[in-house]
Each structure stands twice: as structure tokens, then as C-alpha cells.
Amino acid sequence: MKTHVAIVGAGPAGLLLGHLLRAEGIECVVVERQTGDYVLGRIRAGVLEAITVNLMERLGLDARLKAEGLVEEGFNLADGERLIRIDVANLTGQTVTVYGQTEVTRDLMDAAPERGLPVLYGAGDVALHEIESDAPYLTFTHEGRQERLDARFIVGCDGFHGPSRKAIPARVAREYERVYPFGWLGILADVPPCNHELIYANHERGFALASMRSHVRSRYYVDVPLTEKIEDWSDERIWDELAIRLGPDAAAQMTRGPSIEKSIAPLRSYVFEPMRHGSLLLCGDAAHIVPPTGAKGLNLAASDVHYAAQALTGFFKAGDADAIAGYAAKALARVWKSERFSWSLTKLMHRFPDDGPFERAMQVAELDYIATSRAAQTSIAENYVGLPV
């Protein structure tokens, strides 16, 4: 098989890139290890920045997003005593949209056949070859056959554990990492949300987040030590903990119900450089991870894909090799700013086991500053809606 661009991974980054390239008439093939159902079973992001919404709109794949997505004009930080509302719409003139990653992925997946985007699900042993040449290729197994896919470029959209990043030689690689001493225990339930806007809470018992997927489906999180086992958290125990950490007002509005999904996700900040080496470009979680505080991961994957599609379009349509050479620097400039925001909001809203009274006093002071300063609220709001692309 031969194509222009071989894309590894059919998560949101891979599918979005595939559609953007097809819209420009550039041939590409997406190779995914899992089945489509498995990919859709992963419950992850819920909050979309304008960049992600705009890309779906540009592709003409935003009908369901527009009909079912909830436009959010603000969100809240709870500090145990009060709710500090960040009036995002007023402070920035922009909004975010609550629409699950699962639904974005489903919309992209459903449109693939009609847009001529081949997606090979269930591909085994995907390996990258000759990425330092102009003729890289993938090998993999698919439907019992050994396959080879030749391309001009490979784009690694295969998440944190995929093979693409590992294909970049150690002599050129640099890694930056912070692992946090807790994970987020998430619960998804078909109950109305306790509040029409998200609440991030810093309580003495730990972090909590009230989020949603729709008017009738809620998503909540509490932070837990990494040693916790999901089996030890009955639905009732999670609801009890949420009621305490979110505070009495939210608790009074909280409807409990059986969980549809329940899992613990570790928190990590990670950046890999370079995001391009030879004929291989990396996009999304393949190159970087943010802790979920601030909801940046999927949106960062979308902005990478936007830059990558621009670079590849410049190359194939205008013969512009500089566009490819400039990809990594453009993408990384935005990545680092999102890393900073996610890290600082994580530090502000969680109780770290090693923190003493000084660190706690810093959190109290910062929350008080945010509560009373329009400048501080504007800074948070402009990061939350997404920095310019």
C-alpha cells in the first residue's frame, strides 16, 4: 500500500488530522490498534475550546456538536467557603463547549467512509521504519495479513503509549516530566448535573470536580492516592466524598445514581521534544500529557493537528518544505503554555501529601487574590478558553 501521509492512531488527533488532509485532497491512511468500539469506550475529555469546535465546523462535522453541546460561559473554583465564579464570556468574549471526546470521536469515525478516509482498525504490531529518509513506511498486521504502508510522511497520533515517539532516536530526544502523587477517580452517571457550570473544588479532604456531558449525564471526579483500588470505591462512597468536598450548596443539588463508568487515571505533566524528526511528526498525547485540571489535553491535540495539517498542506500543495520544518516550534510554543496552565491549576486546587502550612497558605492567598482581582480572573479565563492558535 502507498499513500502520502500514514497516520498512526485513530483517537481524536488521528481522525481529525485525517479529515483535515482529505478535505485538502491529500491522501492518507489511519492505522489503529484497537477496534472502533474500544476507542469509543474510553471516557475522557468533556470540555472543548473554540479551536476544537472550529475545526469540526470547518469540516462540516459539527451538526450534532451544535445541537447537543452545552455552551458554557463560566466555571467555578470552590475553596471550601465560597464559589469563585470565573465569568469567562465577560472576561474574554469567548465560551467553551461541553461535548464529550467520545462524541467528537464518534462524529469523526462515522464520517470517515463518506469522506474517503481509510481507517484500518485492529492493526497489530505497528512499527515505523526509515523515518530519517524521504520514504518512511509502516509495517503491521491486519486481518491476518502482514502489511506495509509506504508514505512521504508518518504522523504519530498514537497517544502516550504508542510506538511513534519511541521511533525518534534517543540522541535527539529530550523529555520533561512531572508525575503527581495522586490520580483522579472519575464517575459517569445518568443524573442531571448539580450545577450548570463546572466546579473545581479544593477541600481539606482533597480535590473534587463537578462536570457533565449533557443535562441528564454527569461526570464527577475526586483525587485519590495512587495506591487506591477502584474496587474499594462503591458508588455510594464516591457520592458521599463528592458531597463533602464540593460543599453543602452543590451537595444539596447533587442527584446520585448508579455509575455507568468508573476509573482512576494517574496525573502527569510530560513534554517530548522534538515534535518532528525527519519525516515523522508527533501530535497530541504522543508528544505531551497534561494533568486534566483545566481540560487542555484534547484541545492541545486539536491545535497540534491544526498546525500539522497546515504544514502538510503547505508541503503537498505548494512544495513548501519549510512548513514541515517549522511545525515543531509552532506546536511546542502553545504546548508549553498549556502545560504551564494545567500545572498551575493542579497545584492550586490539590492538597499534595508533602505540602506543609506554607504551601497551604500560598493556596489560600492565591485563591483570595483570584476572588478579588479581575486581572487574575482574566488570566485564568483566557487560558481556560484556549490561547490563540
Residues in contact with ligand RFL by CB under 6 A are 8-14, 31-34, 39, 44-47, 101, 123, 126, 157-159, 161-163, 184, 186, 265, 284-285, 292, 295-299, 301
Residue 350 Cβ vs ligand RFL, minimum distance, rounded to whole Å = 15
Which of residues 295, 301, 370, 385 is near ligand PHB by CB under 6 A?
A: 295
- H or E segment and range at residue 179: strand 174-189
Residue 213 Cβ vs ligand RFL, minimum distance, rounded to whole Å = 10
Residue 56 Cβ vs ligand RFL, minimum distance, rounded to whole Å = 14
Angle subtended at Cα 49 by Cα 48 and Cα 51, rounded to the nearest 5 degrees = 115
Widest CA span in the chain: 63
CB-based contact 115:107 (threshold 8 Å): no
CB-based contact 105:40 (threshold 8 Å): yes
Q: Which cell goes with 186?
A: 472519575
Total H helices, total E strands in the chain: 12, 20
The CA-based dihedral angle spanning residues 44, 46, 52, 57, taken in that order and rounded to the nearest 10 degrees: 120
Does 292 interact with ligand PHB (rule: CB under 6 A)?
A: yes
219 binds, among ligand RFL, ligand PHB, none (CB under 5 to 8 A by kind): ligand PHB
226 three-state secondary structure:
coil
Residue 349 Cβ vs ligand PHB, minimum distance, rounded to whole Å = 10
Of 46 and 163, the one with the shorter C-beta distance to ligand PHB is 46
Which of residues 183, 247, 294, 386 is near ligand PHB by CB under 6 A?
A: 294
Instruction: Report how far apart, in Å, the C-alpha atoms of 12 and of each of 105, 272, 286 are.
Output: 5, 19, 12
| Bridge partners for 363 per DSSP | none
Radius of gyration of the chain (CA): 21
382 three-state secondary structure:
helix
Does 48 interact with ligand PHB (rule: CB under 6 A)?
A: no
Residue 45 Cβ vs ligand RFL, minimum distance, rounded to whole Å = 3
Residue 292 Cβ vs ligand PHB, minimum distance, rounded to whole Å = 4
Does 47 interact with ligand PHB (rule: CB under 6 A)?
A: yes
Burial group, residue 365, by CB count within 10 angstroms (0-12, 13-18, 19+):
exposed
Of 94 and 371, the one with the shorter C-beta distance to ligand RFL is 94
Burial group, residue 304, by CB count within 10 angstroms (0-12, 13-18, 19+):
buried
Residue 291 Cβ vs ligand PHB, minimum distance, rounded to whole Å = 9
Residue 11 Cβ vs ligand RFL, minimum distance, rounded to whole Å = 2
143 three-state secondary structure:
coil
Site string for ligand PHB, 186-215 (x = CB under 6 A): ------------x------------x----
10 binds, among ligand RFL, ligand PHB, none (CB under 5 to 8 A by kind): ligand RFL
Number of residues that bind ligand PHB (CB under 6 A): 10
Tell me the pairing of strands 75-78 and 199-203: parallel
Does 293 interact with ligand PHB (rule: CB under 6 A)?
A: yes
Residues that bind ligand PHB in the complex, under the rule CB under 6 A: 45-47, 198, 211, 219, 292-295
